[in-house]
Amino acid sequence: MDINEFKAGSYVSQYQYKSFMPELVNLEWRVSEPVVNTLLEEANLKLGALDAFSAIVPDVELFINMHVAKEAVNSSKIEGTQTQIEEIVQKERNMLPEKKDDWNEVQNYIQALNFAIDELEKLPLSSRLFTATHNVLLSSVRGRHRMPGEYRKSQNWIGGSSLKDVVFIPPPHESINGLMGDLENFLNNENIDVPHLIRIAIAHYQFETIHPFLDGNGRLGRLLITLYLVKNQILHKPTLYVSDFFEKNKELYYNNLTLVRTRDNLSQWIKFFLVAIIETAGKASDTFKAILKMRDEIEGQKILTLGRKLPFAKQVINYLYKHPVVTALDIEEEFGVSKPTAIAILNDFQRLGILREKTGFARNRIYVFEDYLKLFR
């Protein structure tokens, strides 16, 4: 089917409301619009350039941790959670009580993402993977009473306080298994020739339209994008996360998804999605370039002045790449050193301009790897 011939679905009458029943998507899609093909080519080139960093950046997993944290913050922010990246990389004990609920939700997203990436080694993109990941996402947070790990068994809606003033009503729960089965087949169908980025653009739209869970659909649907790229080896490491682009263009993100359902405009959604890939992959590559430059300055110049402390300093630097906001207690616990030793290395890093102390206190000080953290804001 040509994407310009797509009919998104129809409304089905329920009790006092109409829900949207999407058409099945496990089809061989064609793209005849030149601008889409041009964007597709550019997006593939950008992803190829980004994937190259997985091979050339030493210990790339250290920095992927921060990309995951940024994705978790931005994806959750789309849903209304208000946590900044400098907060999410801190230990819970340093969080203000009023921020702990949001902090826990974003931490769950990080755990869900890492869990799903690990599960890809043995599971396809499937309902089994989605439900297991959803269970991690909603465990012990505000959505824990909304059927974590299970497809919904009641009607849900998007926007509005009830079914009487909604923006969109997804399909009835009785259709979830069939629709998700079709989506699962589409994601894994090797007998149809569909470009990967077209396939995952359509799959993301379809997942958000089905809205198979009572809560967490947006976060899981955006996570699906990264999982697809890794599973199909477009990216060998999970280095691309589009929620930053979607959060900055939140209204356009929702509007373009809505245009598919209301005007069958699948082409516009795919164009928006490809621009998101292009912009996000370009920024991620720039971030890796900046990391390499910063790493060379710090490890090749600054900490060399520490003499006999150098081996320990290298260990602490690697820890800071994953945890750029730290306290002396964090260093004590991580490396099993005394408090004076922990304080001394943090003071050395502050003197070298690597860390900045942000509290101004004499005790319980918090140090920030500011220049590094800026790369992910």
Per-residue pLDDT averaged across 227-244, rounded? 92
Instruction: Quote the percentage of the chain above a pLDDT of 70.
Output: 98
- Taking alpha carbons only, the member of 213, 194, 33, 49 closest to residue 133 is 213
DSSP 237: S
Q: What crossing angle do the helices spanning 100-119 and 60-78 adopt, rounded to 10°?
A: 120
Q: How confident is the model at residue 376 (pLDDT cuts 50, 70, 90)?
A: confident
What is the chain's mean pLDDT, rounded? 91
Query: Same structural domain for residues 150 and 204?
Result: yes
pLDDT of residue 143: 59
* Residue of 46 and 72 predicted with greater confidence: 46
Number of domains the chain contains: 2
Poorest-pLDDT segment among 20-24, 108-112, 230-234, 357-361: 357-361
Query: Same structural domain for residues 191 and 258?
Result: yes
Residue burial 330-361, b: 16+ Cβ < 10 Å; e: rest: bbbeeeebeeebbbbbbebbeeeebbeeeeee
Which residues partner with 316 through β-bridges? none
Which residues partner with 248 through β-bridges? none
Q: What is the largest CA-CA distance in the chain?
A: 75
Q: In terms of C-beta distances under 8 Å and separation of at least 24 residues, what long-range contacts does 119-126 make, across chains too?
A: 120/227, 120/230, 120/231, 124/184, 124/187, 124/188, 124/231, 125/184, 125/187, 125/188, 125/224, 125/227, 125/228, 125/231, 126/184, 126/188
Residue range 26-46, pLDDT digits in tens: 999 999 999 999 999 999 999
Structure tokens given for 202: 């359509």
pLDDT of residue 144: 66
- The letter for the amino acid at 1 is M
Query: Same structural domain for residues 324 and 253?
Result: no
Whole-number Å distance between alpha carbons of 88 and 85: 5
Whole-number Å distance between alpha carbons of 7 and 15: 25
Structure tokens given for 253: 């993100």
- Pairing, β 367-368 against β 325-326: antiparallel
Query: Same structural domain for residues 314 and 282?
Result: no
Does 295 reside within a domain? no
Per-residue pLDDT averaged across 247-253, rounded? 94
Per-residue pLDDT averaged across 8-19, rounded? 90
Does 262 reside within a domain? yes
Structure tokens given for 70: 């940024």
Query: Same structural domain for residues 205 and 352?
Result: no
Does 125 reside within a domain? yes
Query: Same structural domain for residues 324 and 274?
Result: no
Does 19 reside within a domain? yes
pLDDT of residue 326: 94
Query: Same structural domain for residues 99 and 236?
Result: yes
The domain that contains 120 carries what CATH number?
1.10.3290.10
pLDDT of residue 146: 67
Coil, helix or strand at residue 271: helix
- The letter for the amino acid at 70 is K
Does 293 reside within a domain? no
Residue range 92-144, pLDDT digits in tens: 777 777 777 777 888 888 899 899 999 999 999 999 999 999 999 998 766 56
The domain that contains 316 carries what CATH number?
1.10.10.10
∠ Cα 238 241 244 (to 5°): 155
Query: Same structural domain for residues 32 and 86?
Result: yes
Query: Same structural domain for residues 281 and 318?
Result: no
Structure tokens given for 360: 């101004």
Global pTM? 0.91
Residue range 51-64, pLDDT digits in tens: 998 888 877 887 88
Residue 16 has pLDDT above 90, yes or no: no
Instruction: Print the domain residue range for 350.
Output: 305-374
- Taking alpha carbons only, the member of 355, 351, 367, 356 closest to residue 306 is 351
Poorest-pLDDT segment among 5-19, 88-102, 362-376: 88-102
* Residue of 194 and 145 predicted with greater confidence: 194
Domain boundary among 260, 288, 316: 288
Q: 82 with 95: CB under 8 angstroms?
A: no
Query: Same structural domain for residues 180 and 270?
Result: yes
Which residues partner with 326 through β-bridges? 367
Query: Same structural domain for residues 168 and 228?
Result: yes
Does 121 reside within a domain? yes
* Residue of 204 and 239 predicted with greater confidence: 204
Domain boundary among 256, 288, 320: 288
Structure tokens given for 52: 């190259």
Domain boundary among 288, 316, 331: 288
Does 296 reside within a domain? no
* Residue of 371 and 69 predicted with greater confidence: 371
Whole-number Å distance between alpha carbons of 253 and 272: 8
Residue 281 has pLDDT above 90, yes or no: yes
DSSP 158: B
∠ Cα 55 58 59 (to 5°): 105
Query: Same structural domain for residues 116 and 245?
Result: yes
Whole-number Å distance between alpha carbons of 338 and 255: 55
Q: 120 with 230: CB under 8 angstroms?
A: yes
Instruction: Quote the percentage of the chain above a pLDDT of 90.
Output: 72
